[in-house]
Structure 1
């Protein structure tokens, strides 16, 4: 049987946390639930303590300084504290469905498979959150990929390098990974990214580890959409959006350069990184830099970001 450590980073999630934990704690495969509280300003810490006192599967941790360090550093602490052979993640305002580990039970019989990912659905908890989400993501019922894949095909798909569109991405809530694979690759979340650290992690994971798709045609977890979802609040291609995308792609660019990825992959990452780098510039300098970059790398004019520059 799988022995899974579920890592839940907790920050101001008091009204959702019990449902989240209850959705995971009953699985026989779940060895432990690791709550890592990140200096919430609501009653989250009190709820964490209550839950941990009621069930020995539930363990509570805080950062050594009891400070706020963001989701990346908080998940990293959870990984360090995990004792299970497998790691999964769950956001404190989301929850697992009963089929969460159905694919894993079979797929992980193959020792070469190091990670399995599936689809996640949405539940609208507030009308404002629904409107913000649907404005940005239309009315996507599932966050998933378009077809089954494994190994390098997953990495290529996430970089939009496959002949047919692979899909957007897979959500951390729908990922199960061998802890030994994370340790072998020395892979952790970029703690300096306050948003997009999950996408950054997944792309690096897909390069270093052998991933395989599991259940991708129906949800195995649910994401709660409400007024305080940070990602849905940012207007696409606004200055704030471009800045966050720049930091995300710069993280990937620095990683790809340091790891010496094949030229095709470095080029793809560079073009996205440079596109958002150019979006940070203003006035004549911005347009002159776009022209110069276009002369050096004409492919940048074909990226999906090529005309999305705020003045």
Structure 2
């Protein structure tokens, strides 16, 4: 088992050494691929220091030297990787010693395309904890139950009740399966690019649960996380969700094998965020459109949604 760990690096000079060294503890990790994404801090200098210090660390940048975001940086890492398995790590996060314990046995089964696990929380400062504990607490980011691969895609769509969340730091993929079954890796989104990737990944690949009850990696929370800006509404979460579901909707409508009821479900998820983010007058128009055109379909059993709950969320 040879694992390539891919780390996009942007404005993470303070944290990248810990991330790299957490991956170096595993003999199964054959290389750590850093993609330095035109950082405004000293991250590039720190990356070069790590390359000089550790033989398994490799450094790449985009050809034009410009910033392309985490998704495009991961794509470059996938392109450069040589391991038979691919794992990901954000530059301000780190792995725990049990990171690949489940993978060692699961990937002996050739039917396993990918494995996912649970993510914990680490606060880098007391200030970060005081600011963001209400967002993350000490909760695990995890899928709540052990699902079969066929249940993962509808589970993410909300069609299997309370499902939970994936984390990019806890995902390990068979490289061959990724190249053979998906024609697009990460899309060029600045926010939620990993969530969009998970939807398509779980449709095309057979993903299995690893360790879900305890963390195998830690999310590093500090003052400048992208996700904290969203969760604390410095960036409007509804706006970013609209863009996410628009991408998923476009993909689903172009994918001929996706059933019509799932396409309808995705369409309604996209519309619900559009309604939630609309001005008051437009909200009313969108809700009337929903009642006139979509509610009969719901009544006929083609789509299961609690409109009362939706309208409560909107207002």
Q: Pick the TM interval, shorter chain.
A: over 0.9
Aligned residues: 305
Q: Hey, what's the Cα distance between the residues in 2 that align with 1:292 and 1:87?
A: 45
Runs of 4+ in 1 over 6 A off after TM superposition: 236-239
* TM norm structure 2: 0.91
Which residue, out of 169, 173, 178, partners 2:174?
178
1:264-285 CA-partner distances (Å, limit 9, x unpaired): 2212211111112233432423
- Asked whether 1:302 is paired with 2:283, we answer no
Counterpart among 149, 152, 171 of residue 150 in structure 2: 152
Q: Which runs of 5+ in 1 are unaligned?
A: none
Task: Find the partner of 1:215 among 211, 214, 219.
Answer: 211
1:197 aligns with 2:202: no
Compute the RMSD of aligned alpha carbons. 1.9
3-state DSSP of counterpart to 2:236 = helix
2:243 to 233, 241, 247: 247
State the distance in 2 between where 1:91 and 1:304 align.
35
Within 1, Cα distance between the matches of 2:135 and 2:100? 30
Question: Cα–Cα, structure 1 residues 243 and 207, in superposed 2: closer, same or farther, change >3 Å?
Answer: same
Q: Is the 8 A contact 1:132 1:232 kept in 2?
A: no
Q: Report the counterpart of residue 188 of structure 1 in structure 2.
A: 185
Q: CA deviation at 1:50?
A: 0.9
Give 1:66's aligned residue.
65
How has the CA–CA distance of structure 1 residues 272 and 134 changed in structure 2, closer, same or farther, with 3 Å as cutoff?
A: farther
Partner of 2:104: 105
| Among candidates 276, 288, 293, match of residue 290 of structure 2 | 293
Query: What residue in structure 2 maps to residue 47 of structure 1?
Result: 46
Check 1:18–1:235 CA distance in 2 against 1; reply closer, same or farther (3 A cut): closer
Structure 1 residue 232: Cα displacement: 1.9
